[in-house]
Amino acid sequence: MKYEKEIERRKTFAIISHPDAGKTTLTEKFLLFGGAIQTAGAVKSNKIKKHATSDFMEIERQRGISVATSVMSFEYKNMLINLLDTPGHKDFAEDTYRTLTAVDSVVLVIDSVNGVEAQTRRLMEVCRMRDTPVIVFINKMDRDGKNRFDLLEEIENELKIQLHPMTWPINSGKDFKGVYNLHDKSLLLFTANTKASEENSVVINDLGQTLLEDKIGHNDANKLREDVELIDGVYGELNSTDYLNGKIAPVFFGSAINNFGVKELLDTFIRIAPTPRSRETTKREVSPAEDKLSGFVFKIHANLDPKHRDRIAFLRVCSGRFERNKYYHHVRLDKDFRFSNPYTFLARSKDIIDDAYSGDVVGLFDTGNFKIGDTLTEGEDFYFTGIPSFSPELFKELVNKDPMKTKQLEKGIRQLTDEGVAQLFTQFGGNKKIIGCVGELQFEVIQYRLLHEYSAACEFRALPFYKACWITSKDEKKLDEFTRFKQSNIAEDKDGHLVYLAQSEWFLNTERQNNPAIEFHFTSEIHK
């Protein structure tokens, strides 16, 4: 195994959560520990103009939300960590789903005040589809939230995953005194508005010690002893194999904004989280230890720097070694390309690299050759599976407000949909352009970016469609007949695949019953 040392040193994970659970704040604290940034930015404070490192699009800065996945690499205790910060907002869920295909594990942030929320459920469903290992961070313990035992029960029931506490909180809200580390038997004391430091950590091997009373008071000491006895009895030692198989999720409590409980999470993460894993392709399973390079594009981002019209394809390296200026095979185009300026990222700042290994995410300067799901290899032809486009739920017609800027609009919408911001369907000989999105906010982002990045003004008209289904059939004649009779409901996606746009669930079910020879698919992965 040529690159074993490099592979063993890498951990690639995503941080996911419902909006406002504190995901971007936690991301920044990780970067602080890794020395990648010196000061954390405040995402939503107007007083502080330093914004969260990972929120780099203007619209994100205005709204205080993350709408695009950011990739950040940093070193911590001799491990190279690739962290992907995902959009929390449900309208950008598809970007998050795709990002989850590019990571080996996940940190899920839950707000102790609100508990499990809608977006958390959806994201966990995607993790369960792949048995992705999950670590849970229960944030905002310095606020009055739910009872911790109730919260654990709620998470287990709602997310259908077994939990295993690694730290345990002493009270919450204004009475929050800190956490007890169940693994290394130490007490971490909390002081409001100050960062946790080594001095706040007290080793207590035996909870019977009177030192515990001195630190947190008689009542809280007794309560902690009871809780720990109960937890030890119920949970015992963490089974790391169950964690790696996605069956058990270790749980940490803390306050990201106060940088409290974060180091314990990070230390455990580098100890137990998986290194790069094998991946399925259309031909065979690819092992990270293979000598030859393979990787797939899971995200495309245009205009990362508004001053330069650049477009970056994010490649997850799955095997071998990626080298600068070496030719690699683009499977879909059946062409060879070389990359003279491959990047690694710290959000907006980019560093040119000479090589990368399994688990790394590399930014490739792209002139329009890549689409999401594309594969690079050293000659072998296959695609990595499990990178779908999901059926959108909102449909609007794209209307050009300035005929003089038609070219700019065409180019802009093509690039934005190649990025995966939304899906583009074309009807009636290519004149009517329909944009399909998961949420309303995506339309705002598209309109904003078309105007500011491509100087193209547009508006959207709502269309009465309920779902887009990709259609295929073994019987070509039946497919031709169906598309002819249902012309007003038929469109093509940007890859030229046929799509049926259903007005309602009833219409969709009727067509499925009446046309047994035609298959209706809710993701586009069938074409890989």
CA atoms within 13 A on the CB side of 460: 21
Matching residue, tokens 């390309």? 337
Q: What is the pLDDT of residue 103?
A: 93
- Whole-angstrom Cα Rg for the chain: 25
Q: Which residues contact 454 (CB under 8 A, 6 or more apart)?
A: 405, 408, 409, 411, 412
CA separation for the pair 64, 68 (Å, rounded): 12
Ordered structural domains, the chain, with CATH? 4-176+239-272 (3.40.50.300), 284-377 (2.40.30.10), 394-527 (3.30.70.3280)
CA angle at 129 for the pair 152 and 466, rounded to the nearest 5°: 100
Q: Taking a C-beta distance cutoff of 8 angstroms, is the pair 231, 152 a contact?
A: no
Q: pLDDT tens digit string along 11-28?
A: 999 998 887 888 888 988
Does 335 or 258 have the greater pLDDT score?
335
Strand positions, DSSP E, 358-420: 361-365, 375-377, 394-400
Q: What is the pLDDT of residue 348?
A: 46
pLDDT band at residue 68 under the 50/70/90 scheme: very low
Residue 278 has pLDDT above 70, yes or no: yes
Please classify residue 277 by burial: count the beta carbons closer than 10 Å to its beta carbon, then call 0-12 exposed, 13-18 middle and 19+ buried: middle
Lowest mean pLDDT among 195-204, 224-233, 336-345: 195-204
Q: Taking a C-beta distance cutoff of 8 angstroms, is the pair 275, 10 a contact?
A: yes
CA separation for the pair 491, 502 (Å, rounded): 11
Q: Tokens at residue 348, please? A: 């907006």
Q: pLDDT tens digit string along 300-352?
A: 876 555 554 567 888 999 999 999 999 999 999 999 999 988 877 654 455 77
Q: Which residues contact 190 (CB under 8 A, 6 or more apart)?
A: 142, 176, 177, 178, 179, 196, 200, 255, 258, 260
Its pTM stands at 0.78
Q: What is the mean pLDDT of the chain?
A: 83
Q: pLDDT tens digit string along 473-527?
A: 999 999 999 999 998 899 998 888 899 999 999 999 999 999 999 999 887 765 5
Neighbours of 444 (CB within 10 A): 16
184 phi, psi to nearest 5 deg: -105, 15
Does 494 or 152 have the greater pLDDT score?
152
CA separation for the pair 248, 239 (Å, rounded): 8
